[in-house]
Amino acid sequence: MIETIRSAIAPVHRAGWPFVMIGAAAMVLGYWIWAPLGNIFAVATGWVMYFFRDPDRTTPVRTGLVISPADGRVQLIAQAVPPPELGLSDGARTRISVFLNVFDVHVNRLPVDGTVIAAHYRPGKFLNASLDKASDDNERMSLAIKLADGRDIAVVQIAGLVARRIVCDIGAGAVARAGARYGLIRFGSRVDVYLPAGVAPLVVVGQRMIGGESVLADLDGRETQRIGEVR
């Protein structure tokens, strides 16, 4: 019974505990002032714990798989040049954009095994993260990861309309493991993955992703880009 309860309740990411403590203090003060106010703060504190939940994920580990770095919905698939600050080639690549709403798990995970060869934070605007121009204009944290076969992938955390803080726990020189936690974005956001040239995505716009589990692409596959239908 206890194990069942533990499996159903995800732990809180460490970045969320300061907010939980503030909420708990506000809840106690609210109950001291007026019980209904305490109830409001109790609900708010519960929502903060829910937002910062950090469940374990089971990651497919076959060589060549590109794993979704975030929970959310595939918002856009387009040809685009990676952020220039990463120093990658200027050619356009397939970019897969996963949009996270405020109810999604916001802990981000690395998409591939490899070595982080560049990490760059760039301040910017806070446009709606579902817009295409958010990739260029919004605040972002970009990583370039070199794969064992010499190819590279870029993964970019993008702040959204209400997001005001990007957390990235690794930098250049770090060893990347597919599915491993590496950061989060607070309160609504987007994560872009730039595939190596010639690699087709295995997902379609509108599809739901599970960070650390869903496969975005197969670097060794020969399948052409998929299409999808709402059914």
Q: How far apart are CA 78 and CA 18, in angstroms?
A: 38
Cα 153 to Cα 15, 93, 119, distances in angstroms: 26, 10, 12
| Residue that the structure tokens 């446009």 belong to | 127
Classify strands 107-109 and 181-185 as parallel, antiparallel or unpaired: antiparallel
Q: How far apart are CA 231 and CA 207, in angstroms?
A: 12
Q: Is 7 an annotated catalytic residue?
A: no
Q: How far apart are CA 222 and CA 225, in angstroms?
A: 10
Q: Which of 189, 152, 172 shows the shortest CA–CA distance to 66?
A: 152
Structure tokens at 71: 């929970």
Q: Which of 97, 135, 142, 189 is catalytic?
A: 189
The residues, ordered by sequence, that sit 6+ positions from 227 with a Cβ below 8 Å of its Cβ are 204
User: Which amino acid belongs to residue 206?
Assistant: G
Return the H-helix or E-strand segment holding 3: helix 2-8
The residues, ordered by sequence, that sit 6+ positions from 59 with a Cβ below 8 Å of its Cβ are 67, 109, 178, 179, 212, 213
Catalytic residue ranges: 189
